[in-house]
Structure 1
Amino acid sequence: MSTAPVFNSNPFHALYSRSLGITRFWSLMGIITLVKGVYVYYGPDLFTEEAQYWLWSRHLDWAYYSKPPLIAYVNSLSSGLFGISAPVVRLNAVLCGLGISYFVFRLGVEHFRSHRVAVLGVVLLNVSPFFVTATLFFTTDSLLMLAWAGALRYFLRYVDTGQPGDGWRTAAFVVFGMLAKPTMVLFGFVVLAGSGRNFALISRRLLAFGIPVLVGLLPSLIWNYQHDWVTFRHIFTLAGGSGSSLLHRNALGQLLEFVGGQLAYGSIFIVVGLLLARPWKLPTVDHARLLPLWLAPALILAGFAVLSVHKRVEVNWPSATLVAWPLVVSYLLHLRYRRWSETPRVAWPVGLSVATLLLILQPGWLDAVAGRPVLPVKADPLYRLAGWRQIGQTVDDFVKDLPPGHFAIVSDSYHTASELAFYVGGHPDTYCLPNANRRMNQFDFWPAPPASQRQNIVYVSEDPLSPEARAQLGPVLRQEVWPVYYRNVRVRTMYLYHARGYRPKAVKKPVMY
């Protein structure tokens, strides 16, 4: 094994590597973007969070109950330019993926001065489940990851060059990230890890970091000032602030769930790459350059692991922090296998990861080969996406006998109400019934159906009509039951009711955050 440093001083070799690396990067991006485009065009229906964020775009505001405003404005822009459809919504995610890959590629080139490290890092990134899901399904994680990758690139370049322009670009991406999701505040750990041991320097940079954080937070502060600070109450509740005990009764189970989820979602194949590289046997590792790329994600993951023994932590919460780890692994693999010709030695984990992604994103092909469900339907995350387009068509048929424009579509769930707003013909306003026993959501800040529509209510739910809903809807005139099948298994039953005499104040509004 060669012990030459990663930085190659031969100008002819460097020029060849640069040309080869750029060509391979854009060729790779072309193939990946094409495959993703085909998937989003022919892929599953929007899942409920995607539909909810799209619905926000029809009610543009300073912010929203659970998130900052950026995703609503991006959806509004794309829908205005290309129309309303599921592929258009997900086009935003695909473009985010292209941008993130570009920033990771440039970071690899600039930070390690190696196009091979950069290209291999992009490959590892694009086969990691956390990245693939965020760049196929458009959520706040898609935008947050883009902001994180941009801020990471320019911050580390600022650390190297000290150029004020790179500092301003870092600040701009921090603002962008704060407008996408409050988790961007955790980028402070990158600032900490990249500032060495100089306490004065750390203090100055963290103080400077706080300014764009506050700027990006300003729209949410304005909205929350007008709405009793409910977003902060919501985040406090999500973080377990309302719990009475520091140690959850199922603390070990939640911790194991978090660790297992990160291995699956962050890609266990990244761990395989580390084992292939055997960094403990590499004498030429530039630890100073690696430190800000691996330490910040490690600290953030450790923090969420500690939180998981108190409160269940969703697997995607730390996902944006992981964009640097594929680059760390690619650098170590580059030191182990230096030439382009040696790259196939590390290709099998990539192939295995791609096969796993195919199983997750399109399990039907394996069912057809095996003649039976290989991945259990209830373990398939896509089953929750099944049937919403057909439900929208069913509601269209259900309301044909009602006076046009003189009915309201309501549900007991914001998930269902959001999907109906997207998939029912004409994209009508939908409503979510207030209920003191459910958690607050964005519908609670929008008005109830107008008086002209309250005599004809179409109520849609995944459950039979509850006493609380019946108290609000009045007499039921008609009802239907509609089953939803996915991979030949019944996964959901939808109940449709035509009721008359909606009374929006019959049940108290929710107070849980």
Structure 2
Amino acid sequence: MSASPHKTSLSNQTGLSNKSAWLLSWQGVTFFILLLTLYRILAITQGHVSLFYDEAYYYHWSLDPDWGYYSKPPMVAWIITMTTSLFSDNDFAVKLGAPILYGLTAGVVYRIGKHLWNPQAAACSALVFCAAPLVGFNSLFITTDAPLLFFWALATWLFIIALQTQSWKNWLLVGVAVGLGMMSKYTMALLPIGLFLYMGASKQYRPLLLTLKPWSAAVVAGLIFALNIYWNYQHNFVTLNHTSEISQLDKKLFNPDKLAEFILSQLIVFGPIWSYFLIRQWMSKEARAAITQSGILLATFLPLFLIICTQALLSRAFINWAAPCLIAASLWTGFYLSRQPRRKLIIGLIIQLGFISTFYHWPIILESAGIERTRKVDPFQRTQGWSELATQLKPVLMASPNALITSPSRKLLAYISFYAEPGQLRVARWNPDQNNIRDYYDLLFNLRNYAHQNQQAFILINETPLDSNLLSRFQQCGSEQHYTETVFRDLSREIYLYECTGFKGYINEGP
């Protein structure tokens, strides 16, 4: 873990201006990260940046802090609990953790680069990370990737320090960081695998495997993660069933086209400019020589990347499944750019941040240009109109405060419950198949829990009219009510609502 022999000073950089020299100082890069984070916080206050339904769904998790939830560990819900406790139950507060966590991760990337190489490479790496499209896009939406990337970077940094200092405190902190990462997303399990492989492959650090320190870190991580395992035990390991389902390994098991698509997508989410420099860096003999001295980055990159590529080849892989690979990629690219004329870094930042900023404000740009917003040209169209539609339903919900909002749709339960009644959750999920639990609502609030309670009222909602067979499972249902909200000329949100009482049970479960 020794520093690279290729360290350089600012004075040796070709064409280095005073401004770019200041940007690559620790004061400059800190100011840049803080300013960019503030800008991204302000971006989520824009009217068109509303909640994606997964965010509203995670918000409902946060109303009941627990050690686990249907499909994910609890960290994202805990973060939303903290931010909404401070800033109330609204879109801004739900999303706030995302830009803050990505800003903190950029700071940790800087610390890793400084330990591996030098302050200039560290600064370039942090800037590269900030300007990756995936980071920019995800800064508008709170997902499990935000805490995952933070704890992935933090555990990597602490691991480097622990190797250098051999301090019990630092090894135990590695365990805490890995454990909290596991409580963020199960992908984190691949990081300690890579770290142990790194120690095993290193003559210098292999003897550590015969000591208690790295194993104590593993025990600490395991004890933290055991809380989520216990939760899964209490709920019949529903999370494992969900993970197995989305992997789709029961389908066609050889898809080279999916693999190629996945690899291309990784170049896109890292950004075309950074991807070009990353490829150039691997073609540079000098840069490769420095990279081999920081094999720790290979250990944090390869296991995850190879496993997700294998998953893509066998069935499919979502574009964000290899998101932590951005950390090593940013560091490699940052090292390469630290040895290049500064204009390459500056031009790359301008292009990539310009692209991200254009995405942030695209609806405003369209309106300013006199171009009509439609579902085909507005990338935010999937999140639009739900707040207004929920407002239309408020009088019905207020008139029946004891009625349960019921739907076969997770999306509707998330959106309508959040926007109509923030801070509350009174839902009953329609799903007759008790062997195929679909989501958090289904796990804890399935409609069958209220069967044969003749006085219990329900407000059924759906995006299309419900058929008579479904409505017949209630003792009584009022006439159909239709609500619509026009978003664009070619996009409307619709809800069909029925006020019912007395659920008889599902067809195969009730009389």
Structure 2 distance, partners of 1:284, 1:28, is: 29
Q: Do the aligned partners of residues 369 and 381 (structure 1) sit closer, same or farther apart at CA in structure 2, a change above 3 Å counting?
A: closer
1:106 aligns with 2:106: no
Q: Secondary structure at the match of 1:149?
A: helix
Quick check: 2:408–2:462 contact (8 Å CA) kept in 1? Answer: yes
1:229 aligns with 2:237: yes
Q: What do residues 289-312 of structure 1 show as CA deviations (whole Å, max 9, x unaligned)?
A: 332224532342222122113222
Q: Secondary structure at the match of 1:308?
A: helix
Structure 1 distance, partners of 2:354, 2:409, is: 35
Deviates more, 1:97-106 or 1:462-471: 462-471
Q: Do the aligned partners of residues 285 and 219 (structure 1) sit closer, same or farther apart at CA in structure 2, a change above 3 Å counting?
A: same
Quick check: 1:108–1:327 contact (8 Å CA) kept in 2? Answer: yes
Q: Do the aligned partners of residues 445 and 353 (structure 1) sit closer, same or farther apart at CA in structure 2, a change above 3 Å counting?
A: same
Q: Percent identity?
A: 19
Q: Do the aligned partners of residues 245 and 211 (structure 1) sit closer, same or farther apart at CA in structure 2, a change above 3 Å counting?
A: farther
Aligned to 1:433: 430
Residue 27 of structure 1: CA displacement?
Answer: 1.4
Structure 2 distance, partners of 1:323, 1:427, is: 36
Q: Do the aligned partners of residues 283 and 105 (structure 1) sit closer, same or farther apart at CA in structure 2, a change above 3 Å counting?
A: closer
One-letter amino acid of the counterpart of residue 418, structure 1: A
1:385 aligns with 2:383: yes
Residue 460 of structure 1: CA displacement?
Answer: 2.4
Aligned to 2:82: 77
Aligned residue pairs total: 489
Structure 2 distance, partners of 1:10, 1:268, is: 27
Residue 396 of structure 1: CA displacement?
Answer: 1.0
Structure 2 distance, partners of 1:145, 1:267, is: 17
Quick check: 2:154–2:177 contact (8 Å CA) kept in 1? Answer: yes
Q: Do the aligned partners of residues 416 and 197 (structure 1) sit closer, same or farther apart at CA in structure 2, a change above 3 Å counting?
A: same
Aligned to 2:6: 6
1:138 aligns with 2:138: no
Deviates more, 1:277-286 or 1:492-501: 277-286
Deviates more, 1:192-201 or 1:386-395: 192-201
Structure 1 distance, partners of 2:317, 2:455, is: 40
One-letter amino acid of the counterpart of residue 211, structure 1: V
1:458 aligns with 2:455: no
Q: What do residues 99-131 of structure 1 show as CA deviations (whole Å, max 9, x unaligned)?
A: 21111111112221x222122111111111222
Q: Do the aligned partners of residues 309 and 206 (structure 1) sit closer, same or farther apart at CA in structure 2, a change above 3 Å counting?
A: farther
Q: Do the aligned partners of residues 332 and 140 (structure 1) sit closer, same or farther apart at CA in structure 2, a change above 3 Å counting?
A: same
Structure 2 distance, partners of 1:373, 1:293, is: 47
Q: Secondary structure at the match of 2:413?
A: helix
Aligned to 1:349: 348
Q: Do the aligned partners of residues 267 and 9 (structure 1) sit closer, same or farther apart at CA in structure 2, a change above 3 Å counting?
A: closer
Aligned to 1:494: 494
- What is the 5 A alignment of 1:443-482? 443-447=441-445, 448=447, 456-466=457-467, 469-473=470-474, 474-482=476-484
Structure 2 distance, partners of 1:495, 1:239, is: 32
Structure 2 distance, partners of 1:504, 1:197, is: 65
Deviates more, 1:16-25 or 1:136-145: 16-25
One-letter amino acid of the counterpart of residue 98, structure 1: G
Q: What do residues 30-50 of structure 1 show as CA deviations (whole Å, max 9, x unaligned)?
A: 211221121112251111111
Aligned to 1:34: 38
Gaps of 5+ in 2: none
Q: Do the aligned partners of residues 283 and 27 (structure 1) sit closer, same or farther apart at CA in structure 2, a change above 3 Å counting?
A: closer
Q: Do the aligned partners of residues 5 and 84 (structure 1) sit closer, same or farther apart at CA in structure 2, a change above 3 Å counting?
A: same
Q: Secondary structure at the match of 1:500?
A: strand
Q: What do residues 234-258 of structure 1 show as CA deviations (whole Å, max 9, x unaligned)?
A: 22223335x16533xxx23422332
One-letter amino acid of the counterpart of residue 132, structure 1: G
Q: Do the aligned partners of residues 310 and 443 (structure 1) sit closer, same or farther apart at CA in structure 2, a change above 3 Å counting?
A: same
Structure 2 distance, partners of 1:87, 1:197, is: 46
1:168 aligns with 2:172: yes
Aligned to 2:409: 413
